[in-house]
Structure 1
Amino acid sequence: MFLNRFLGLVVVSLIVTGCQTAPESLPEKKPTIKANPGTVVAEAKTAQVDAVTPLKPSELDDVWQRIRIQLQFSDSSHPDVQKRIAWYLTHPNYMEEISRRAAPYLYHIVTEVENRDLPIELALMPLIESDFDASAYSHKHASGLWQLTPSIAKYFKVKITPWYDGRQDVVDSTRAALDFMEYLYKRFDGDWYHAIAAYNIGEGRVLQAIARNKKQGKSTDFFSLKLPSQTKQYVPKLLAAAQLLKHQKMIFPAIKNEQAIATLPVTGAVILADKAKWQELEELNHGVIRYPAVIDAPHIVVPKDQQASYQTLLANQKSNDYSQWQHYTVKRGDSLSVIAKNYKVTVSQLKTFNNLKTNTIRIGQKLILPQLADQQIEYKVKSGDSLWKIAKQYKVSITKLKQWNNLSRDSLRVGEKLTVFISNS
């Protein structure tokens, strides 16, 4: 699956989705990398360079170079790889945008890959999956840096609720994606090309292609398999990017080789009082769907160099400050379950918010409910409307408009109703 996007002057579709089906079972233990036709140690030339500059990955100044000296996959002369290399070289601005987007996340991703002793090439997968766009959302409902589908996210225990989507959180999504890759590596007997292809199209399709080639007496290496065109191009895109980085044939604008982000745990439900201050964090917390209402999120992501100040700000957030919360008066026919459903919270959360010991409520009783904005409206799509036009009208982002309404498409239907949250601040 492809996710089209504009990167500077580049108008090319590069994004393909993650696997469509959940795995059958988790690996019992972390696999050990072994050599196979798709995993070969870098050539002697690179080893000679490393001998001249014997720096450890952690000692380098640039995360891209930290990746470069650890690249393992062999170079490929396959036409699909060479074609993709040529494309990259004719679009130098592409990597500038990629580095800008990757800057907050790449150090964390690389560290997680290294901690698992996985091929460092896997750290480049968000480049192929989402162009390092944490808010990316595909027409197949795959989402985030790693383009996890709902089924894969659920299988690997990534929380998705009306208030939080862990697929768009760098910490939760990276953990799940690497768990999935470890599973696929074991499933495909240590062949990383097969595993990476399966991440894109699903393990069933790759297994069928392998079985078909075996039956016909053909080779079962990745380039010999009959797979959908998007998957046939998926692995070459990754290999091409890796080869360009390894041989330094293209500029990858430097990203500091240091931790850029930190997480602060969140317990319960919080509506952040200082909207202006917390808006600074919105770009790091795409998983928080109804910002600044932080509900169901296990943490918030903050800049590492501001961790202490945000920790203090969060600690000083009064749990009984309901100035940003909506006040609701119980009406005839109401119940906790009805109110909870209408406001997309659980009964348990509703009771916690209001310090209720039982499920009994009475007409006229005042309740507080999470509300992320000063006004919530239902907008009915008219002829000539577009997401861009509606977002501009209400001064909200297209990303949030789609997220609030669980939209994976860019088109709208006349008569369709959209929920829009408006802040007066």
Structure 2
Amino acid sequence: MRHLILCFAIVLLCSCKTTQPEIIAPAVPTPVESKPALSNTPTSKNTHKVINKKATPKAPEIAQPTELWAHIADNLHLPVEQNQALKKRINWYLKQPNYLKIVSRRAEPFLYHIVKKVEQKRLPMKLALLPFVESGFRPTARSSEHAVGVWQLVAATAHHFGVKSDQWYDGRQDVLASTDAALDYLSYLHKRFDGNWLHALAAYNTGEGRVKRAIKRNQKRGKSTDFWALTLPKETADYVPKLLALSYLVKHPKAKFKRPKLPYKALTTSLNVAKQFDFSVMAKLSGMGAKQLHALNRGYLKNQSSPHGPHTLLLPIEQQALLKNRFFKANFAGEYIVKKNDTLYGIARHFGLPLEVLKQLNNKQNNFIGVGEKLILGEPQTLPESLTINYKISPYLEQKKPVIPTIEVDYHVKPGDNLWNISQLYGVAHSDLARWNKLSASSVLKPGTQLVLFIPQAATPKTTPAKKDLLLDLQNTLNHPR
């Protein structure tokens, strides 16, 4: 036993001699990196190398939108209260799955410009949909209250906000001119109603005074002054939910209510002719049909522009080739809308203008331009030939008898309906009903088919018990052409 203990002690002593103790170095504080002094003196070789900071990663570029309706949907931000009135209007739209597609076709030449004007004025995108609710986007629509155009402006309001109207031209029917006035009016109402857009929209429909009185009545009674609590005419009470419901469905499309497809770009461009012109002459020079030219420029009431202006034409974008035409370059004050990545030098070169001339025409002291900016491309000179002809009234606009104002009504065919019964119900000619819908007088109607009728405002549709609810709805919801 004693021998074993002695051996163990000898082994332990030997191991202590050969094993080196572990040395733990004291912690050395990490030197704080400082910015190098801004000096021309070369740094010493013993100086610590300054570690470059990592470059800040570039923010990813925001992709440019390619589809207009998707862009509108992405920018609809106003909150929508889900209540019974709104649900009723949503259901109304869902029963007409082709509504937006049909109306979008009418809006196609103008919608991009309207969206841009709404954005430039920093207004809610929802307002770009207002012409769909107001008039079904019909530039010549007229209401029983004498409101005209896609924005349904009455004469006094249009005049107050700078829209010209005379025997030659009605700016309320000019989509782009009336857009400027309508958006300015809506901005004014928004301020008058302390930033409440629902009150402003109601006032746009029924008048500022009526909405103010409704608010005061509720205040006196200790009631809420929220739009939904106000006592307003049924047309106005339905009007605001129509816009909100349409906005909701554009933002949240359904299987039965899909968004149309439109490219995110201008499809039309303005050309300032700068002097009196005749539509027939301009149609011939531009290679367009006179009817197409009139369709884009409904503000002109005759085949000639007024001697006192305006003299601006809206043309399909492919007609910008006119601006390169020697005749047009020599005689017309063409216009160009600045696009992304454009430069003043590039635009001048594209249209064959000296840079200094382009700057002088647009009162520019430098070369800075902004996307959406409108540039003048030339000054009109003395024309070598006349742009007018002898006759004054357009063959497309000449009226041999007074036009009776009408209200457009959409009718959904019910089982058992035929053209004769529907024409008798609304007091219109059987042949007119067939013609409006491109049908023959003996056509068999399929239930669910949508027909369009133009009912004289002076006439009252014949009421039958079976159609009473339908007529009440038409009277209240389609008082304006929608």
What is the rounded CA distance, in whole Å, between the counterparts of 1:303 and 1:103 in structure 2? 11
What is the rounded CA distance, in whole Å, between the counterparts of 1:374 and 1:197 in structure 2? 36
RMSD: 3.2
**Residue type matched to 2:302 in 1?**
R
Shift of the alpha carbon at 1:171?
1.7
What residue is the counterpart of 1:303 in the other structure? 316
- Is 2:346 the partner of 1:281? no
What residue is the counterpart of 1:251 in the other structure? 258
Shift of the alpha carbon at 1:310?
6.9
Shift of the alpha carbon at 1:278?
5.0
**Residue type matched to 2:74 in 1?**
I
What residue is the counterpart of 2:155 in the other structure? 150
Of residues 151, 164, 168, the one that matches 2:169 is 164
What is the rounded CA distance, in whole Å, between the counterparts of 1:311 and 1:164 in structure 2? 29
What residue is the counterpart of 1:396 in the other structure? none
Residues 266, 297 of structure 1: 8 Å contact kept: no
Of residues 179, 186, 194, the one that matches 1:181 is 186
What residue is the counterpart of 2:240 in the other structure? 235
Of residues 239, 263, 269, the one that matches 2:270 is 263
- Is 2:328 the partner of 1:321? no
Residues 281, 302 of structure 1: 8 Å contact kept: yes
Q: 1:105 to 1:168 in 2, by over 3 A?
A: same
Question: Structure 1 stretches of 5 or more lacking a match?
Answer: 1-53, 327-369, 393-407, 414-425
Q: 1:236 to 1:320 in 2, by over 3 A?
A: same
- Is 2:220 the partner of 1:207? no
What residue is the counterpart of 1:91 in the other structure? 96
Shift of the alpha carbon at 1:55?
8.7
What is the rounded CA distance, in whole Å, between the counterparts of 1:79 and 1:252 in structure 2? 24
Shift of the alpha carbon at 1:297?
2.4
Shift of the alpha carbon at 1:269?
1.7
What is the rounded CA distance, in whole Å, between the counterparts of 1:89 and 1:164 in structure 2? 38
What is the rounded CA distance, in whole Å, between the counterparts of 2:72 and 2:242 in structure 1? 17
Question: Structure 2 stretches of 5 or more lacking a match?
Answer: 1-59, 333-382, 404-426, 436-453, 460-482
Shift of the alpha carbon at 1:411?
6.4
* Alpha-carbon displacement from aligned partner over 1:348-382 (angstroms, at most 9, x marks no partner): xxxxxxxxxxxxxxxxxxxxxx454599785589x
Question: What are the equivalent positions in structure 2 for 1:104-143 lying under 5 Å apart?
Answer: 104-143=109-148
* Alpha-carbon displacement from aligned partner over 1:63-83 (angstroms, at most 9, x marks no partner): 111111111111321111100
Task: Tell me the TM-score normalised to structure 2 length.
Answer: 0.56
Residues 203, 211 of structure 2: 8 Å contact kept: yes
**Residue type matched to 1:290 in 2?**
K
What residue is the counterpart of 2:70 in the other structure? 65
Shift of the alpha carbon at 1:136?
1.2
**Residue type matched to 1:325 in 2?**
N
What is the rounded CA distance, in whole Å, between the counterparts of 2:141 and 2:396 in structure 1? 27
**Residue type matched to 1:238 in 2?**
L
Q: 1:378 to 1:134 in 2, by over 3 A?
A: closer
Residues 270, 315 of structure 2: 8 Å contact kept: yes
Residues 156, 180 of structure 1: 8 Å contact kept: yes
Residues 135, 144 of structure 1: 8 Å contact kept: yes
Q: Describe the SS at the equivalent of 1:167.
A: coil
**Residue type matched to 2:295 in 1?**
E
Task: Tell me the TM-score normalised to structure 1 length.
Answer: 0.63
What is the rounded CA distance, in whole Å, between the counterparts of 1:138 and 1:299 in structure 2? 27
Q: 1:213 to 1:173 in 2, by over 3 A?
A: same
**Percent identity of paired positions between Structure 1 and Structure 2:** 40
Question: How many residues end up aligned between the 2 structures?
Answer: 296
Residues 133, 144 of structure 1: 8 Å contact kept: yes
Residues 304, 388 of structure 2: 8 Å contact kept: no
What residue is the counterpart of 1:363 in the other structure? none
Q: 1:310 to 1:289 in 2, by over 3 A?
A: farther
**Residue type matched to 1:285 in 2?**
N
